[in-house]
């Protein structure tokens, strides 16, 4: 098992990509710490069925005290923190730029950027004490390219990519690897709620001819979290069915 006895923290770990990753971690014998209690019980059950251990801590990633308490809880229960997947995020309403409000801007940037920054702040502080660690942040294909009708989300994910690269360079010699995944369209609850026309449009954007699955993203996160990626840091891993290549 590639994560035997490792302790992994997942934000946004109770649905979609986060849940798939939490279960993938557990299947590799990692101990999992999650952020949300509401769907947490079901995820805990799935993790236990996968042979793992898990706890969930109620936390708002935009609030520094909550993030600190979440990391402290992981360390107090399991003794250390080896891996973090900073996955919590939001898309927002995203109308045209001139119709967007300051409230909408602050909401998207706070969750998608500030949340990743705060999470890394306390994750890295703990990993520095241990002399090792692996962090994976969640961006998007729209952290590398852009679409005209999703401005703030695009800006926030570009910021996550830049933040990841800079942090990776800052802590490379400290034994902490920091990478980012950039998925294309993925078959999450939000995708399933779309109309058939929208689903077909999204599938058609990808040269591979379909959207991805949460497990396909989870497998990439698992790789970056493990020693199999021991010489990989500051990398943006596209999981996009060829979207960027075109």
Among 144, 23, 161, 9, CA closest to 70: 9
Among residues 25, 105, 122, 153, the one annotated as catalytic is 153
Biggest alpha carbon–alpha carbon distance for the chain: 51
CA dihedral 180, 231, 214, 161 (to 10 degrees): 10
Q: How many helices (H) and strands (E) does the chain have?
A: 9, 7
- How far apart are alpha carbons 41 and 154 in whole angstroms? 32
Do residues 157 and 112 make contact, with C-beta atoms less than 8 angstroms apart? yes
105 catalytic? Reply is: no
State CA 146 to chain mean position distance. Answer: 20
The residues annotated with a catalytic role in the active site are 153
């Amino acid at each position: 098992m590639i994560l035997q006895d490792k302790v992994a923290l997942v934000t946004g770990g109770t649905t979609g990509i986060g849940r798939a990753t939490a279960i993938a971690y557990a299947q590799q014998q990692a101990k999992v710490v999650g952020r949300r209690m509401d769907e947490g019980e079901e995820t805990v059950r799935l993790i236990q069925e996968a042979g793992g251990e898990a706890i969930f801590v109620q936390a708002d990633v935009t609030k520094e005290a909550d993030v600190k308490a979440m990391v402290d809880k992981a360390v107090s229960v399991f003794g250390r923190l080896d891996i973090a997947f900073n996955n919590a995020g939001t898309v927002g309403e995203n109308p045209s730029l001139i119709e967007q409000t300051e409230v909408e801007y602050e909401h998207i940037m706070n969750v998608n950027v500030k949340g990743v920054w705060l999470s890394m702040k306390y994750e890295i502080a703990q990993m520095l004490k241990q002399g090792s660690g692996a962090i994976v942040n969640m961006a998007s294909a729209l952290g590398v390219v852009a679409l005209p009708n999703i401005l703030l989300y695009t800006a926030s994910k570009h910021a996550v990519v830049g933040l990841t690269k800079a942090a990776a360079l800052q802590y490379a010699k400290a034994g902490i690897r920091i990478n980012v995944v950039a998925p294309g369209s993925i078959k999450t609850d939000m995708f399933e709620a779309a109309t058939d026309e929208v689903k077909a449009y999204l599938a058609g954007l990808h040269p591979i001819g379909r959207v991805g699955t949460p497990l396909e993203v989870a497998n990439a996160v698992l790789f970056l979290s493990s020693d199999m990626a021991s010489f990989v840091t500051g990398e943006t891993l596209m999981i996009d069915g060829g979207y960027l290549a075109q």
